[in-house]
Structure 1
């Protein structure tokens, strides 16, 4: 029987309460001090761990202190500086292109607007929502690989498209806690609900999870 939206919202509230209790320290893992630093760090974090990005960004943030500095960066030099984060050529182009657009369109400032953020080169919905939720204090769902996986196992969303998952989560999750819930789902995905070896027997939301494989995994 298909779960109604009302029932899903009620179950989502229970899931959020349980995850809050299990992960009281859930927060963004990227280190940053300004919206621009978070925007750059989030671009670098694509297909890379936050831990690796945090090793690279201190020197970058010391060298490139403004959007104008990023826009004027020598591309081969920047590629070498971010090489360890992977996909360094594409990321370097995205960062310099994004910075040039900030200078040209927004006076070098990161705009607190989803529409304006996603119009920047290299910035998609997830990156925009990370910045809005963590640098500007808005309520925004950031669908990273962990949120994408965990939300579908929990039956809160059903889609192969991260943007569709975002829209479904926006319907199901408490409106005033969307940023926190993103951190809770990411933390749950990292610590318990892993891609290859989920710890179903230790899962704090096991009784609320409809994932068919959970019983088999809990017994192994």
Structure 2
């Protein structure tokens, strides 16, 4: 068991898993906010674009999407790096779920807050940045935390296109040592530890955002 725990290739694989999670999460969040904002737009064509993205990529399995990027695009002359194919598939898929989280949180902000921003003659971008988002972000964070953990666990599929993540390295170690039970027990614990570290970060951000929201509301009441 200790030989498995101390195996360098598992720790290398864990680092690749963390990197994949961070890159995919960054792409997912970068997509979630503009498409979530599109979902509450006053313009029907903007809402239609947001809905199209959400419905398409929320309805596609990340695994099939990754295979399509990695195996099908080269047939059209476009070859993607394995890491990019994995990040793109996961980011596009989870970005669609995140867009719905953003849209729902923005719609949950009381309408009176939006009306107050209009009364203060704030421009649309200012209304979003200074009024809606500060109140919506604390509502988003718990769900984003869950999605981040789900995204981290979903990175295990990238081993199928030979990215040397934790799962891929575990399969290598199992083949070379024959200690399948010990190897998979160790990586279960490693995935759990990574998930808990991410949840601790999200909870810290939740506390920070709640304190900020308290100040925003206090300033609004003072006015």
TM-score normalized by the length of structure 2: 0.29
Larger radius of gyration: 2
Q: Higher helix share goes to which structure?
A: 2
Higher relative contact order (CA 8 A, sep 6+): 2
TM-score normalized by the length of structure 1: 0.30
